[in-house]
Structure 1
């Protein structure tokens, strides 16, 4: 899995994930998220457009990060999830815990409200 970050506004980071997120590749995600959590008020959109697979280890990285982000007054949302990932998030109940948007631009626009 490849993880890259772009800043679309001074206060919103977009984390682009590509490939497969599993126990083997989750270290890369955790490292990238740790860097983003250093921001004073983390506001993160996770772009899932090119993520093909995610297992429970990957999901746990998002859950742990969200707890820190929420405590700092920030937020983490998902965008561009394929049907498999949407179903996975719904099945494990995370669609109630994370905002899920069809496109990155939708998530960024919602942040401006």
Structure 2
């Protein structure tokens, strides 16, 4: 898995993931999320447009991060998920827990409301 973080002018961090997120690559995601969670009010859009696969270990990292973010008054949403990832989130019941948007800009705009 490859990952980059970009800050937008609206104080939102965009975490772009590519490749495969699994038990072998989840440590990198945990480290990146830990850094982003140090912000006073974390606002994170996870860009999944280039992520090809995610297993339960990856999902667990997102769930843990969202709990911390929500407690601090921030938010975490997904953007650009492919059909596999949308199906996975729906199957495990997380599509009700995470906002999923077609594009990063849509997620940022929704978070600013």
Q: How big is the shift at 1:96?
A: 0.3
Report the counterpart of residue 84 of structure 1 in structure 2.
Answer: 84
Report the number of matched residues: 113
Report the counterpart of residue 28 of structure 2 in structure 1.
Answer: 28
Q: How big is the shift at 1:8?
A: 1.1
Report the counterpart of residue 52 of structure 1 in structure 2.
Answer: 52
Cα distance in 2 between the residues matched to 1:9 and 1:74: 16
Q: Which runs of 4+ in 1 moved over 6 A?
A: none
RMSD between aligned residues: 0.7
Cα distance in 1 between the residues matched to 2:57 and 2:94: 14
**Which structure 2 segments of 5+ residues have no match?**
none
Q: Superposition pairs for residues 66-105 of structure 1, below 5 Å? A: 66-105=66-105
Q: How big is the shift at 1:111?
A: 1.4
**Which structure 1 segments of 5+ residues have no match?**
none
SS of 2:8's equivalent?
strand
